[in-house]
A and B are shown apart, each in its own frame.
Chain A
Amino acid sequence: DQQVKQNSPSLSVQEGRISILNCDYTNSMFDYFLWYKKYPAEGPTFLISISSIKDKNEDGRFTVFLNKSAKHLSLHIVPSQPGDSAVYFCAASYFSGGSARQLTFGSGTQLTVLP
């Protein structure tokens, strides 16, 4: 039962253009969402997060949008750079007392930014 889904395994974008990565979730208890970037042979690196009380959060070139009614979030990268080429994971969590904030991850989207 995949509670967090990233339906596009890969995405190619030209340098300088916008990259849009999508993520859908099914568990309505999720109230905190994160995006991580992962290079080969490294651990995931936190990029940006959003709480369910917001619908947008921006940090430099990265913006995350949350549509709670559609249970959908997206990550926008503008402008895209070749160094952004990596696997991007969407993750979601909710506070469940003793379980604190375990994360449920999507399966990832490989972004390739073409020079």
Chain B
Amino acid sequence: NAGVMQNPRHLVRRRGQEARLRCSPMKGHSHVYWYRQLPEEGLKFMVYLQKENIIDESGMPKERFSAEFPKEGPSILRIQQVVRGDSAAYFCASSPDLSPLHFGNGTRLTVT
């Protein structure tokens, strides 16, 4: 049973470009969470999705950030017009219900 798959592992973008981060949850998991880890900090909740629905986006910045989890395919975290402060590790996690979350290995975004 493959774990949570995130790609790309590393992403470099220039300021003003768009970043797309993909997450395929574990098989059978319909709950997806995105977390962001800034340098020297813990993981911060961004958004919680179920298939085709955003359940809780209270941790998402109001502008430039969006997330989706379509009926088919991976969950996508999209950052438009990236700025240097968006540089971070972005982790996706999935769960079948309320049990402990299983995390992917993250996407390290660097904005130059």
Interface of A with B (CB < 8 Å)? Answer: 4, 6, 34, 36, 41-46, 49, 89, 91, 95, 98-108
Contacts and interface: CB of A to CB of B under 8 A. Distances in A.
What 9 A-B pairs come out closest when comparing CB atoms?
A43-B103, A105-B42, A99-B56, A107-B42, A46-B100, A105-B43, A102-B45, A43-B105, A44-B103
Interface in B78-98: 91, 93, 95, 98
Interface residues of B, number: 27
Contacts of A4: 42
Nearest to B104: A43
Contacts of A103: 33, 35, 43, 45, 101
Given A105-B42, A106-B42, A108-B42, A100 B55 contact: yes
Given A43-B4, A107-B41, A102 B102 contact: no
A111 to B, nearest CB: 15
Most chain A CB atoms below 10 A, which of B4, B33, B40, B101? B101
